[in-house]
Amino acid sequence: MNIVLQYILLIVIMLFTLTTVAAWLIWLERRMLAVWQDRYGPNRAGPFGLLIVAADTIKLLFKEDWIPPFADKSIFVIAPAIVAGAVLMSFVVVPFAPGILIADLDIGLLFFLAMSSLGVYSIVLGGWASNNKYSLLGALRGASQMISYEVFMGLSLMGVVMITGSFRLTDIVLAQQDYWFILTQPVAFVIFMIAGIAETHRLPFDIPEAESELVAGFHSEYSGMKFGMFFIGEYLGITLISAMVVTIFFGGWLGPGFLPPLVWFTGKTFIFILFFILLRASLPRPRYDQLMEFGWKILLPLALVNLLITGGIVLLMNS
């Protein structure tokens, strides 16, 4: 019974921490964009504009929760919850530190790929249920983008699986005690990062939203907390991809002993979250056809070549 209570407490703490972090990333992104663009960011609501998150939350809570009369109401309501739920489920297998994880699954890496791929249903259902041509175009773009880049993401990770011989994320972390996999799998890291940016449809790959073309894409008709769920889901996605990059390629919680493992993991993850924000401030959005061409003509061959070379080296070392 004590073990059950411990798991319930850990789940509650993790849910609270992740949703809180996702909310405060809104403030962090606005402040960092202001720094990089040499301008003022949020600086009125509270010290350093810290209360801007509370102001946004109150605004979303009290904003009219409007459902278009021409929408498919049940699917329209369900769609925003899917993206947040899928991302939160992915965190179940993330090892934050020794003993601090919910499920140490043998198929942890596959579970992450499966859960992250469910997010596409949120975009497709939200865009289709809105019964709006701009929303539908955004949903179609999002579906093709996410499904395509999931292929490259999965292939990029197979080299790490070959080296460690395991899909368990804790085994992958422990296998990096002598060296991080960024040293032996740099191509896989680059492919995974690009695919992760496309999966979270963040700039420069925000083609499913593309305000200048599609109003707001798949969530054009959403308001209130339904829009807030899409918003939180996006920032949860940033945190998830950053955490997975750290886990798979940068040693996870491993680091010199003068800091606790959880601090190392959190610090590394924070660096990659800042990288996501920096991309938004520096890169332009490609055309839709350019994005798809880049994936299938460049990332796919690179991922396959990396897999072939890694497999050859593993065979030679084990022979």
Q: Where are the domains of the chain?
A: 16-62, 66-318
| Whole-number pLDDT of residue 111 | 94
Which two three-digit tokens encode residue 13? 């703490």
Nearest to 273 by CA among 196, 190, 184, 177: 196
What values do phi and psi take at 163, rounded to 5?
A: -70, -45
Q: Tell me the whole-structure pTM to 2 decimals.
A: 0.92
- Tens of pLDDT along the chain (319 residues) come to 577 888 888 888 888 898 888 888 888 888 888 888 888 888 887 788 888 888 888 888 887 778 888 888 888 888 888 888 889 999 999 999 998 888 888 999 999 999 988 888 888 888 888 888 888 888 888 888 888 899 999 999 999 999 999 999 999 999 999 899 999 999 999 999 999 998 888 878 887 776 666 666 777 788 778 888 888 888 899 999 999 999 999 999 998 888 899 999 999 999 999 999 888 888 888 888 888 899 899 999 999 999 999 999 999 988 7
Cβ neighbours of residue 267 closer than 8 Å, sequence gap 6 or more? 259
d(C-alpha 160, C-alpha 155), whole Å? 10
Q: Are 210 and 138 in contact (CB under 8 A)?
A: yes
Which residues is 97 bridged to in the sheet?
100
pLDDT at 185: 93
